């Protein structure tokens, strides 16, 4: 499977600030995904990030709040903008592996635990 | 609406016992995946079962899929304290190659030493 890392692993931020989370993969992948996991909850897909195109956002998530970059086939960032305590969650990136597989087997990074005060 | 629903929500067993978790879903799927999450960490991919498969094994894990009932089960045999974690099922909808995964609410498993 692909090896995925995320930075930072955790952070505590003040209300109104922004945090950019990085996701790095050790292999080139087409599809990268960003998820949010609120405390005690399951995972919810925020957006799908393909290299060379705009990210596709799920219902309830907007680009102004969660801008995403995908500059190449091994890297992506998610920014949580103008944060409020409700944004306190674990944010996870995932990749489809093998890339282009029809089975959509997804592997996840270790997550970024965000606490907003 | 949530695609996958696991039950039970929480399960507590003794080391050495078997643990069975169930997942139900609502629409046709391409495949179903099971993941493990240790407290507040990333998800570990356990197993993927395709819609045309009925059973799959990986070590102490056994997954079954019944597409007629839209349900799957994950069996962990001879459980260990290290199996303590939350377990999630995720489905990939059969919509012409949709890559989106929809996760269930998860089962929190506690294995007591």
DSSP for B30-85 reads EEEEEEEE-TTS-EEEEEEEETT--EEEETTEEEEEETTTTEEEEEE-S--GGG-E
Q: Which residue of A has its CA nearest to B30?
A: A103
A positions 5-64 inside 8 Å of B (CB): 6, 31, 33, 41-45, 48, 58
Q: What is the mean pLDDT of chain B?
A: 89
Inter-residue contact A47 to A61 (CB < 8 Å): yes
Write down the pLDDT at residue B2.
Answer: 45
**Separation of alpha carbons B37 and B46, rounded Å:** 10
Query: Predicted confidence band at B1 (pLDDT cuts at 50, 70, 90)?
Result: very low
Write down the pLDDT at residue B30.
Answer: 86
Write down the pLDDT at residue A102.
Answer: 65
For residue A91, give how far its alpha carbon lies from the nearest alpha carbon of chain B (Å).
Answer: 9
Partner residue opposite B45 with nearest CB, options A1, A44, A110? A1
CA A40 to chain centre: 18
Q: Between B51 and B41, name the one with better pLDDT.
A: B51
**Separation of alpha carbons A93 and B34, rounded Å:** 17
**Separation of alpha carbons A88 and B70, rounded Å:** 33
Choose the mutation target among A55, A104, A108, A113 for the interface with B, i.e. most B CBs under 10 Å.
A104
Q: Between B9 and A101, name the one with better pLDDT.
A: B9
Query: Predicted confidence band at A52 (pLDDT cuts at 50, 70, 90)?
Result: confident
């Amino acid at each position: 499977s692909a090896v995925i890392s995320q930075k930072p692993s955790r952070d505590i931020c003040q209300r109104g600030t922004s945090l950019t989370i990085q996701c790095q993969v050790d292999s080139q992948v087409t599809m990268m995904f960003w998820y949010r996991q609120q405390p005690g909850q399951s995972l919810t897909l925020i957006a799908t990030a393909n290299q060379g195109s705009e990210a596709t956002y799920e219902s309830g998530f907007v680009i102004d709040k969660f801008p995403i970059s995908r500059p190449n086939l091994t890297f992506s960032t998610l920014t949580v903008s103008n944060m409020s305590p409700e944004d306190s969650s674990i944010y996870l990136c995932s990749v489809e592996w093998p890339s282009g597989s029809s089975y959509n087997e997804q592997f996840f990074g270790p997550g970024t635990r965000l606490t907003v005060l | 609406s949530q695609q996958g629903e696991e039950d039970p929500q929480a399960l507590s067993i003794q080391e050495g016992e078997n643990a069975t978790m169930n997942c139900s879903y609502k629409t046709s799927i391409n495949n179903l995946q099971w993941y493990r999450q240790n407290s507040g960490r990333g998800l570990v991919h356990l197993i993927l079962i395709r819609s045309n498969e009925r059973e799959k094994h990986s070590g102490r894990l056994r997954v079954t899929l019944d597409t007629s009932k839209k349900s799957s089960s994950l069996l962990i045999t001879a459980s260990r304290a290290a199996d303590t974690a939350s377990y999630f099922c995720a489905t990939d909808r059969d919509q012409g190659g949709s890559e989106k995964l929809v996760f269930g609410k998860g089962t929190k498993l506690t294995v007591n030493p």
